[in-house]
Amino acid sequence: MQAIVLAGGKGSRLRPITTHTPKPVVPIANRPFVLYQIELLKQADIRDITLSLSYQPQKIQDKVGDGADYDARISYVVETTPLGTAGAYKNAGFGLADSGAHGTAVVLNGDILTDVDLNDVIKFHRTNKALATIVLAAVANPAEYGLVKLGSDSRVVRFQEKPRPEEVTSNTINAGIYVLEPKVLDYIPEAEASTFEYDLFPRLVEHGQPVFGYVWPGYWRDIGAPTSYLQANLDVLAGGFRLLGKPLQTRGEKFDPDAEIDTTSAVDPTCTIKPGAQIVNSVISRNCLVEERARIENSVVRGSSRIGTAAVVRDTVVGKGCHVGRSVTVSGAVLGDKSVLTDYSRL
């Protein structure tokens, strides 16, 4: 069986985090995000994985390589023009009909963090003799997503993309994870933009094809917005997300003994942490400098950033190469790469 990760988007909703870093390799708890998706697929013994790319593809290929370091076989397809989710699947789907398991493919959107049991999803797909199976998840605000209405037999009967609040009748949404048979390629136009949500799946239902919904009650998060990206990091720190486990806490040579780092935080050992610094439930990436008496709480600080003396960083994402000055207080913010907050400022 093969898998395709649709990772060609520009990550516009996640900016400024994705301005210089494509979303698949934006770090979650100091690991490139796509590694969580690779691990998810490996748990179902799926190791032939295609990444469908468009935006800054070389940065992703340089980071992930051929997958040998992760016990997987990674290949790449780069779109020259945007084709939409279904179009990207067809563009990357050459040879799927001749692959293992009769061409059945698992498809993941490139911004989904989940520990869904893919083995169970595939079993459900086969038991129902489905042409397409859509994984569904419950969310607090379904109006931001696409609702999927199921019949009593779990067969999909209707789609409702991004409904108005008064139109919401359930909280179960399309989770961006699919199991597809190669026959679905017949319903996707050649070399045209086409989406799963608006085009392919409604077309399959309209033609009476067996499309089923699998409801996943466990962890699921769309990391495509800064607040959700921050929360995904905190979820991994809290141990509420099983894939890859919590990052190991290794004390670096430049961590002062008088610095306070709680057991939840993940601080890269290349960092310099000065006396009296406090790091609470936070992720600090490579080569950062945290000055005396600075406090970082419930935050992500990306590589080569400097947090000044007595500064307070709370509920914030700090981009790469930022400078947060002396006695600055920043709360609930997102700082793009190389941002500078001058001494004593408030944000």
Domains and CATH numbers, the chain: 2-238 (3.90.550.10), 260-341 (2.160.10.10)
**Residues 321, 336: contact at Cβ < 8 Å?**
no
Half-sphere exposure of 142 (CA within 13 A, CB side): 23
Q: How long a stretch of residues is the chain?
A: 347
Can you give the pLDDT at residue 232?
A: 94
Which of 316, 314, 317, 321 is CA-nearest to residue 337?
321
- Print burial letters for 114-140: b (CB count within 10 Å at least 16), e (below 16): bbbbbeebbebbeebebbbbbbbbebe
Q: What is the pLDDT of residues 173-216, one digit of tens each?
A: 889 999 999 999 999 988 788 888 889 999 999 999 999 999 99
Can you give the pLDDT at residue 93?
A: 66
Can you give the pLDDT at residue 98?
A: 47
Within 8 A by CB and 6+ apart from 63, the residues are 25, 32
Taking the alpha carbons of 213, 214, 218, 220 in that order, is the dihedral positive or negative? negative
For residue 169, give Cα distances in angstroms to 17, 149, 151, 215: 34, 9, 14, 16
Q: What is the pLDDT of residues 47-70, one digit of tens each?
A: 999 999 888 889 999 989 999 999
* Amino acid symbol at 207: H
* Residue found by looking up tokens 């003396």 in the block: 309
Low-confidence ranges of the chain (pLDDT < 50): 94-102
Q: Tell me the sheet residues that pair with 54.
A: none
Can you give the pLDDT at residue 108?
A: 95
Can you give the pLDDT at residue 163?
A: 67
Which of 292, 300, 219, 226 is CA-nearest to residue 265?
300
Round the average pLDDT of the chain to a whole number and report it: 89
